């Protein structure tokens, strides 16, 4: 089925930050983009300086930086000057704890003001900020803190007791635990963050980091091996800032709501950095998704730019089925979505319900910022991710047997989405994993691991992942991490994990398990294994369902053939089986 193109009017084009895509893409220059930022007074570049200090120095300190809405609807505003002062206190606290530039500060926090203070304070201190999903269970948290050699963890007292306390001593690098929300005293060997900030020095000179100094460490998942720590540097702020302006149409004075989880890269790049460098007011809602609450927040806060995700859009559509009241949001100017394929129905539902379409855009942890987007001024082809950002060269490539790649220039050729690796926020490495990093590049391209097509007008169309990684409700889930935890269960001999299509979450995780000899498959054991996985991995990552199998399909070299399990589950062609072990045929 082909969907109607959503045309933009002349007024919409003229009113957009990026007015003329072709002209601006042709003229774009990253050095000029860099000049939009001030840099540190004595030289160097620091993300927090661009997000905070720069505005305060220019007299913008009174503007609201953060409007926080608590679960109980309490509202707390922090101006740019106040957020700067809090971040200074956090940076002073780190210094008093002997945390040095380059040290790693992890945050496992929900959407509370301390998250923003910790992120910006860490960057001010020249340390490296790493957010993790608070929905992770103990296993994924510990693995990521081990790989990244965490020195400081900022979390809440409740999360600490539930998820960290039992193994904190297993991470030798971990020196300090700073806990938010400890009424009374902090637990043993932890620091009460609120009390410590109250006495910390509110004056702190932002550390003069260099553009290539590490600033952020974001974890992502691959098909094999442990999670990967993608290293990002301060220079990334140039891309955050520019893409915020062009792809999200942000401008000073906007009321901007990004609904991303703080543990996901979007929660940092577009939940903290890009909006603040662009001088907007960030709306932050502590609560989880609720269709009625979201409707209310959009209206009451007069949100002008809203950045959300397909799973949330689909949940809103579901709520709409039983309550189709149009949204009355005269202030709302631009709606964007990221993280998973946005179905054309959802784009058009935006027009029906909000009077404006959702603008899909594409990027990934490794790219640090938006790479392909539907811009405010550009016609939308529903189902397409849009066109490459000015300054970004994208291509569709095919891999040859010798490892080189060749660009496929014919329209709608299917291949891997690739990017020329020359934008400021590209990852600088996977921490301690040189070989995995090297494999991302071939013939002058960065290979994204996604399959896509480009049409004759230069619009990109997402087709699927080139690997077995699963995307569920926006979470990228590495099957290996889930399989490893399943295999810790005493009854499990082998496990394979795949993603199955789901109308709301995009995909859900399904596991196939072969039991140890002599064990009887049955409901009690199924429930026990599911419970084990939920406890160790957390509900966002654990399988929804488990099926028992005598054997799991493997190649002759012993690699799980997850694709075959998936094809069988979905009744699809099984493809080339020449490498399948003979007893599995």
Gyration radius of the chain's alpha carbons? 24
For the bound state, the minimum distance from the C-beta of residue 372 to ligand AMP, rounded and expressed in Å, comes to: 8
Of 121 and 267, nearer to ligand AMP (C-beta) is: 267
Place of tokens 């269960």: 489
State how far the Cα of 528 lies from the Cα of 120, in Å rounded to an integer. Answer: 42
What string of DSSP letters covers 232-257?
Answer: EETTHHHHHHHHHHHTS---TT-EEE
Residue 130 interacts with ligand AMP (CB under 6 A): yes or no = no
Binds ligand AMP by CB under 6 A, chosen from 123, 190, 214, 265: 265
Contacts of 48 (CB under 8 A, 6+ apart): 87, 120, 121, 123, 124, 206
Residue 268 interacts with ligand AMP (CB under 6 A): yes or no = no
Of 311 and 364, nearer to ligand AMP (C-beta) is: 364
Residue 346 interacts with ligand AMP (CB under 6 A): yes or no = no
Sort strands 214-220 and 191-192 into parallel, antiparallel or unpaired.
unpaired
Total residues binding ligand AMP (CB under 6 A): 20
Residue 461 interacts with ligand AMP (CB under 6 A): yes or no = no
What string of DSSP letters covers 81-103?
Answer: HHHHHHHHHHHHHHHHTTPPTT-
Of 153 and 417, nearer to ligand AMP (C-beta) is: 417
Residue 339 interacts with ligand AMP (CB under 6 A): yes or no = yes
> Residue 462: how many CB atoms within 10 A of its CB?
19
Residue 362 interacts with ligand AMP (CB under 6 A): yes or no = yes
- What stretches of 388-454 show up as alpha helix (H) in DSSP? 434-438
Residue 242 interacts with ligand AMP (CB under 6 A): yes or no = no
Of 180 and 431, nearer to ligand AMP (C-beta) is: 431
Please name which of 278, 274, 308 lies closest in space to residue 424, comparing C-alpha atoms: 274
For the bound state, the minimum distance from the C-beta of residue 265 to ligand AMP, rounded and expressed in Å, comes to: 5
Contacts of 4 (CB under 8 A, 6+ apart): 348, 382
User: Binding pattern to ligand AMP, positions 22-61, x when CB under 6 A?
Assistant: ----------------------------------------
Q: Near ligand AMP by CB under 6 A, which window of 34-42, 209-217, 359-367, 552-560?
A: 359-367
Q: Near ligand AMP by CB under 6 A, which window of 92-100, 159-167, 192-200, 360-368?
A: 360-368
Can you list the positions of beta strands (E) in 132-236? 152-156, 176-180, 191-192, 214-220, 228-233
Residue 262 interacts with ligand AMP (CB under 6 A): yes or no = no
Please name which of 106, 78, 235 lies closest in space to residue 171, comparing C-alpha atoms: 106
Secondary element (H or E) of residue 429: strand 429-430
Map the footprint of ligand AMP across residues 465-484, applying CB under 6 A.
465, 471, 476
Residue 343 interacts with ligand AMP (CB under 6 A): yes or no = no
Residue 416 interacts with ligand AMP (CB under 6 A): yes or no = no
Of 93 and 119, nearer to ligand AMP (C-beta) is: 119
Cα distances (angstroms) measured from residue 438 to each of 214, 429, 435, 441, 542: 19, 8, 5, 6, 30
Binds ligand AMP by CB under 6 A, chosen from 112, 141, 239, 385: 385
Question: Site residues (CB under 6 A) for ligand AMP?
Answer: 220, 265, 338-342, 360-362, 364-365, 385, 448-450, 462, 465, 471, 476
């Amino acid at each position: 089925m082909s969907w109607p193109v959503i045309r933009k009017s002349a007024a919409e084009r003229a009113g957009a930050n990026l007015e003329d895509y072709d002209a601006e893409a042709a003229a774009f220059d990253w050095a000029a983009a860099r000049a939009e930022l001030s840099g540190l007074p004595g030289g160097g570049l620091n993300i927090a300086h661009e997000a905070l200090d720069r505005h305060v120095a220019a007299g913008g300190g009174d503007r609201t930086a953060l409007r926080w809405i608590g679960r109980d609807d309490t509202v707390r505003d922090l101006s740019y000057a106040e957020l700067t002062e809090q971040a200074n206190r956090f940076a002073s606290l780190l210094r008093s704890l002997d945390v040095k530039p380059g040290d790693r500060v992890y945050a496992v926090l929900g959407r509370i003001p301390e998250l923003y203070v910790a992120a910006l304070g860490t960057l001010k201190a020249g340390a490296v900020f790493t957010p993790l999903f608070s929905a992770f269970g103990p296993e994924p948290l510990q693995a990521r803190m081990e790989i990244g050699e965490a020195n400081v963890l900022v979390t809440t007292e409740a999360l600490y007791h539930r998820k960290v306390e039992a193994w904190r001593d297993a991470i030798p690098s971990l020196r300090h635990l700073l806990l938010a929300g400890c009424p009374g005293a902090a637990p043993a060997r932890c620091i009460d963050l609120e009390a410590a900030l109250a006495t910390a020095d509110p004056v702190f000179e932002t550390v003069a980091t260099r553009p290539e100094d590490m600033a952020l460490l974001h974890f992502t998942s691959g098909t094999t091996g442990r999670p990967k720590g993608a290293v990002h540097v301060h220079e990334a702020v140039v891309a955050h800032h520019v893409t915020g302006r062009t792809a999200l149409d942000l401008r000073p004075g906007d009321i901007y709501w990004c609904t991303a989880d703080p543990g996901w890269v979007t929660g940092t790049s577009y939940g903290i950095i890009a909006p603040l460098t662009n001088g907007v007011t960030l709306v932050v809602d502590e609560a989880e998704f609720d269709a009625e609450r979201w409707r209310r927040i959009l209206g009451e806060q007069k949100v002008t730019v809203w950045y959300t995700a397909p799973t949330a859009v689909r949940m809103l559509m579901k709520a709409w089925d039983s309550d189709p009241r149009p949204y009355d949001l005269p202030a709302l100017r631009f709606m964007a979505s990221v993280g998973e394929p946005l179905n054309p129905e959802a784009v058009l539902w935006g027009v029906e319900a909000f009077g404006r379409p959702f603008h899909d855009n594409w990027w990934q942890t490794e790219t640090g910022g938006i790479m392909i987007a539907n811009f405010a001024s550009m016609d939308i082809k529903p189902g397409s991710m849009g066109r490459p950002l000015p300054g970004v060269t994208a291509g569709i490539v095919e891999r040859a047997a010798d490892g080189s790649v060749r660009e496929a220039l014919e329209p709608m050729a299917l291949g891997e989405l690739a990017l020329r690796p020359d934008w400021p926020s590209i990852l600088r490495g996977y921490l301690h994993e040189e070989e995995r990093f090297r494999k991302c590049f071939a013939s002058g391209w960065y290979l994204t691991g996604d399959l896509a097509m480009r049409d004759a007008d230069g619009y990109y169309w997402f087709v699927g992942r080139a690997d077995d990684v699963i995307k569920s409700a926006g979470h990228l889930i590495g099957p290996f991490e889930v399989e490893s935890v399943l295999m810790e269960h005493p009854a499990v001999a082998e496990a394979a994990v795949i993603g199955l299509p789901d109308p709301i979450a995009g995909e859900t995780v399904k596991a196939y398990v072969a039991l140890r000899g002599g064990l009887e498959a049955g409901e009690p054991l199924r429930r026990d294994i599911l419970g084990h996985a939920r406890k160790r991995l957390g509900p966002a990552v654990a399988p929804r369902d488990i099926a028992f199998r005598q054997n799991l399909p493997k190649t002759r070299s012993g690699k799980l053939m997850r694709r075959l399990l998936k094809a069988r589950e979905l009744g699809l062609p099984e493809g080339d089986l020449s490498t399948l072990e003979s007893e599995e045929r």
